[in-house]
Structures are given as C-alpha cells and as structure tokens.
C-alpha cells in the first residue's frame, strides 16, 4: 500500500516537472515566433546599424577673392588622423609613440585610444610632415582621412573683415560667418557595412552621397588698397603712440568698400592666440563721438533749409553761453566776423552752435536721422552696431549746444562715412557693401550685387555748395595736411573728447582724432575716413588723422588710375 502511494507521488512530480518543461518550451517557442515574425524587422535594423559606418564627407569650402580675383581665403587639403580603439592592441605604447609627433600629451591620447567606440579623432588637419611620420609607424587601428583646412594667403590683410572658420570649417567671424551658408556647401555621406574589426564586408552595403561644394565670393575689397591702408594706419598709430586706429576707403557713388582696416591686427592663420578685442571689426561694431566731422551735416541742413548761404556773415564772440554751459573755441580767439563757409573751414564751435540754434532741435534730429545716424547702414557684415542720437523730447538745456559740434551723440565709423558720402554723392545715400558677386563651384558667376538707387537726402545745389566749403577746409582751413598735389580734396577734421564707459562724462586728456575726406572734390571717386583712438602728443585730427588720409588717398588714386 505504501509503495503504491509512493509511486503515485513520484508520477505526479514527474508530470508536474514535465508540465513546467512543456510550458517553458512553449514560452520559448512563442518568444522565438514573436521575435522572428513580429519583431524581425526591428532586430534586423538594429543588427544593420551595428554593422553600418556612416562617414560624413566634408564639402570643399568656397574661395574668397578680392575685386581683382586675388585670393583672400582658400581651402587646402590636409591629413586627419583617427583611431579605431578596439583594434589598438597596446594603447599605452601607441600613445607614447604618437605623443611627440602630434604634440598631444600621452594621457589625452590614451583616453582616446581606450574609448568604447569604433572611431575617434586623434589630430585634425595636420601638415604632411606629421602625417608621414605617423604613417611610418604602421600601427594597426590608426587611419587617415583627407580634410580641407582654411588657409589665408595674405595672413593679416583684412583679418577683421574676412574673419576665420573653426576646425569644422564653419564660419566663426567676419565674412566667413556672414556668408557661411554660401561658402560652406552641403556635406555628403559614405555608408559602409563593416565587421566587428572595422573591415569592410565584401559585397556588403556601400552607398555614396557626394558632398555639394560651396560657392565662392568676390568682394569689393581691393587687396592692394587694403594692404596700403593697414600699413599706413599702423605707422600712424605707432607714431602718435595711440591705443588703436581704423580706416575705411569706399566709393561714395556705389557704396563699394575698397578697404576696411583696423590696427592692431592679427594673423588669420594663427587666430587662436588673438584676443577678442583685436578680432573685432571696430569700424562696424564700435561707436564713438565723432566731434567736428558732424559740423558738415549741420551746415548741410542749414543750407538745405535755406536759412543761410555760404557767404552769410556772422559776428561771433569768443564764447557763447547756452543754458548753463559756456561753449569755447578749440583755440582761443577774439570776437570777429566769420562767413558761413569760414565757420566750417576753421571749425568754429561758437559758429556751428549759432547755426544749430537757428535750425532748432527738431530739424537737427531730422537731418541727423536722414544722414543715417539713427539706424544701421545694413552692411553685409555680422554684429553691426548703431550709434545714438537722443530724440528731441530727451534733449536738455545744453544738448542743442553739444550736438552741432559732435558731442552728446554717437555713431559707428561706418555710419559717419556713409553720412559724408551723401555730400560727395550729389545728395544720395547708398548702402555700403562688401559683396561683389557669387561664383558657383563650377566657376560660373551666378549672382552679382545690385546696388540700390539711393535715397535722396540733399538737393544737388546744397551738395555742390558743401563740396566747395569742404574743399576750402582742406585748402585754407583745418585740413591743410590732407592736400594732395594735382588733386582737389574736400574734407573735415574731427577732435572729440573720449566718453567714459557707461556714458559718465569724459575721460580726462583722452581724445579721438579723425578726418573724413573725398577726392577729386569736383567728382568724388573715393571717400576715406581715418579714426585714431587716444593719440598722444598731438590730439588734433589735422595732425594725427589727416596725413594718414593723404597717404592712403595718394596710393589709391594711382592704383585706381584716377586722373588728376
């Protein structure tokens, strides 16, 4: 009886165990059917992803040319060194071999060589000498790619204007940034099916999507005028121990910029060691109080409103009091008669305040706005600033005394040269620009810059009168040092106290000297602005800035073959 019960218990255990096994097998079978049937596509995709390697193919970045087709920025081919970490047998030994060649610490290389991945960059865009040295080591798991590197043949010429790119060939500053979409092109892609050791599988997937190379651009810049402008500016800044300087050379009729120079400058091929202060294109980004160059705008407004003629005579005291402020001349003088023309040619503060009081604050603001001092010029360049002219409802008692001689308002150098260009261009305000044309990767011109027709700001009569006045300012007035033998030159000097940071008064003993002029005066083909920041010993625009204008203008006239 006991044996029978024991056998029955054992049979039940076997049946239970068999049932569990059958249920387990059914579960496994169900899961296999689910994986192989329902989720087959999903796992096929995952397996394929593990085998596929996607390699981005960088496009060729377009070239930047000057107006005569001289190269300012080009792309050259370099070797990039990479590693497949799981193929590196002795990472520590390999790191010690590569470190002295690549100039990278062993610790950094070791971390890269031991990453859990199939691809890691060791050095991007190295020179041929380094690449050959690494190739000679014949290390398994080390590979090489061809990549384009940006190279600037003229080094520091137009550095702040041209700008530079990063290691990924994307524009970071200047025109490289502004026209990045045009220059960069679209990357391609190579898809390769590889085994776990990184080797291509014979007969496996191989797809190629070729990159689309970037367009090239031609600028309005003239490399030779740019170089001469930078050279002359450097000499002037160093002569007067100034903090910095800038100069702009443009065609007043078309808005084409032939040169835009900043000093100090830097080498585009070694930009990583340069401060952001030097990299900035201050001609476009920085504002300053322009001083007496604004007198040309106020005088133009008075003539346009027919309040005065160039021959009107004023009896001017040696000082003038407006509200609680006494306005003096830059150089003391006794009371005497001035013509309207002499007020500008001799840069009389008392005289221009007298004219400003007659104009009134509403008209002054209206003309400063019309001349472009309350808005950006819309130049094709990143980071443009605009100055500040207080609206009439924010003027206090002495504002109308300050603004006519260029204090209490601010502008960028680009705004000022655009404003004075109106006088040189028969009263038309045109947009300054740097782009001349776009060239496809096949070498065809696909677009040229079409300049605007210009906005009429002054009558032809007023501009003729003002050109005559500004010509006398050079022949007989404060701008004598800008005279060029054989050419009629017109221009205006400017000397302004430097504003403290956050607009809290003026820096003691610190000035900005400037000169803006155009030539030939009767038919202007060039307009040049020179701004010198904190010149020492000689603070006047006639001494620190006008001679720089003269030297740049003389070269540019010869270079562009503009007849005397």
> Is the Cα dihedral 564, 549, 434, 73 positive or negative?
positive
Distances (CA, A) of 151 to 57, 62, 270, 279, 441: 19, 12, 10, 17, 18
According to DSSP H, which parts of 34-115 are helical? Answer: 40-51, 91-102, 106-113
Instruction: State yes or no: is 323 an active-site residue.
Output: no
Inter-residue contact 475 to 483 (CB < 8 Å): yes
Structure tokens of 89? 């047998």
Inter-residue contact 82 to 147 (CB < 8 Å): no
> Is the Cα dihedral 83, 85, 86, 91 positive or negative?
positive
130-138 long-range CB contacts below 8 Å, 24 or more apart? 130/79, 130/81, 130/101, 130/102, 131/78, 131/79, 131/81, 133/101, 134/81, 134/98, 134/101, 134/102, 137/97, 137/98
Inter-residue contact 389 to 367 (CB < 8 Å): no
Inter-residue contact 154 to 72 (CB < 8 Å): yes
Rounded-to-integer distance, Cα 514 and Cα 290, Å:
8
Distances (CA, A) of 98 to 87, 207, 522: 16, 33, 67
Which of 61, 320, 87, 100 is closest to 214 using CA atoms?
61
- Alpha-carbon dihedral of residues 552, 558, 561, 564, nearest 10 degrees? 90
Rounded-to-integer distance, Cα 474 and Cα 553, Å:
14
Rounded-to-integer distance, Cα 325 and Cα 405, Å:
14
Buried b / exposed e along 157-190 (16+ C-beta atoms within 10 A): bbbbbbbbbeeebebebbbbbbbbebbbbeebee
H-run or E-run covering 81: strand 71-83
CA angle 234, 178, 422 (to 5 degrees): 65
**Going by C-beta distance under 8 Å and a sequence separation of 6 or more, which residues neighbour residue 154?**
72, 223, 227
Rounded-to-integer distance, Cα 330 and Cα 157, Å:
37
Side by side, which strands form the sheet with 188-193? Answer: 52-57, 188-193, 206-209
Rounded-to-integer distance, Cα 533 and Cα 237, Å:
8
Active-site residue identified among 75, 216, 265, 292: 292
Inter-residue contact 224 to 452 (CB < 8 Å): no
**Going by C-beta distance under 8 Å and a sequence separation of 6 or more, which residues neighbour residue 155?**
267, 268, 269
Q: Which residues are annotated as catalytic?
A: 292
């Amino acid at each position: 009886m006991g044996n029978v019960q024991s056998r029955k218990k054992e049979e039940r255990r076997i049946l239970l165990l068999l049932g569990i096994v059958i249920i387990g097998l059914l579960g496994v079978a169900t899961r296999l059917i689910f994986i192989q049937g329902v989720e087959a596509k999903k796992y096929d995709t995952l397996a394929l992803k593990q085998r596929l390697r996607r390699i981005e193919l960088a496009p060729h970045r377009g070239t930047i040319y000057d107006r005569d087709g001289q190269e300012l920025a080009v792309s050259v081919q370099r070797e990039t060194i990479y590693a497949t970490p799981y193929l590196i047998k002795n990472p520590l030994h390999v790191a010690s071999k590569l470190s002295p060649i690549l100039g990278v610490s062993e610790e950094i290389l070791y971390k890269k060589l031991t990453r859990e991945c199939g691809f890691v960059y060791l050095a991007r865009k190295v020179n041929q000498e380094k690449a050959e040295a690494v190739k000679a080591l014949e290390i398994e798991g080390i590979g090489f790619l061809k990549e384009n590197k940006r190279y600037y043949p003229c080094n520091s010429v137009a550095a702040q204007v041209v700008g530079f790119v990063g290691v990924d060939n994307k524009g970071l500053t200047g025109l490289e940034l502004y026209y990045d979409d045009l220059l960069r092109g679209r990357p391609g892609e190579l898809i390769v099916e590889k085994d776990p050791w990184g080797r291509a599988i014979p007969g496996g997937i191989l797809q190629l999507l070729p990159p689309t190379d970037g367009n090239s651009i031609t600028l309005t810049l003239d490399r030779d005028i740019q170089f001469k402008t930078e050279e002359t500016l450097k000499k002037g800044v160093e002569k007067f121990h100034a903090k910095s300087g800038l100069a702009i050379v443009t065609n007043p009729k078309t808005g084409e910029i032939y040169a835009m120079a900043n000093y100090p400058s830097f080498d585009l091929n070694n930009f990583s060691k340069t401060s952001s202060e030097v990299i900035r294109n201050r001609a476009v980004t920085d504002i300053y109080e322009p001083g007496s160059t604004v007198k040309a705008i106020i005088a133009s407004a008075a003539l346009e409103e027919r309040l005065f003629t160039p021959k009107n005579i004023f009896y001017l005291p040696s000082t003038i009091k407006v509200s609680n402020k006494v306005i003096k001349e830059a150089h003391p003088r006794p009371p005497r008669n001035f013509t309207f023309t002499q007020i500008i040619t001799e840069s009389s503060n008392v005289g221009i305040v007298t004219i400003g009081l007659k104009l009134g604050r509403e008209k002054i603001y209206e003309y400063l706005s019309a001349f472009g001092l309350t808005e950006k010029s819309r130049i094709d360049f990143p980071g443009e600033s605009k100055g500040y002219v207080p609206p009439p409802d924010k003027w206090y008692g002495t504002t109308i005394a300050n603004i006519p001689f260029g204090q209490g308002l601010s502008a960028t150098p680009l705004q000022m040269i655009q404003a004075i260009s109106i006088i040189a261009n028969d009263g038309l305000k045109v947009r300054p620009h740097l782009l001349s044309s776009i060239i496809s990767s096949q070498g065809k011109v696909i677009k040229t810059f079409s300049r605007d027709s210009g906005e009429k700001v002054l009558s032809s009569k007023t501009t003729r009168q003002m050109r005559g006045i500004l010509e006398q300012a050079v022949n007989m007035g404060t701008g004598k040092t800008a005279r060029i033998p054989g050419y009629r030159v017109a221009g205006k000097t400017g000397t302004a106290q430097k504003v403290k940071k956050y607009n809290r008064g003026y820096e003691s003993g610190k000035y900005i000297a400037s000169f803006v002029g155009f030539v030939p005066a009767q038919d202007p083909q060039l307009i040049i602005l020179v701004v010198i920041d904190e010149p020492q010993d000689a603070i006047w625009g006639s001494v620190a800035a006008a001679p720089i204008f003269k030297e740049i203008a003389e070269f540019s006239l010869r270079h562009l073959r503009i007849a005397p």
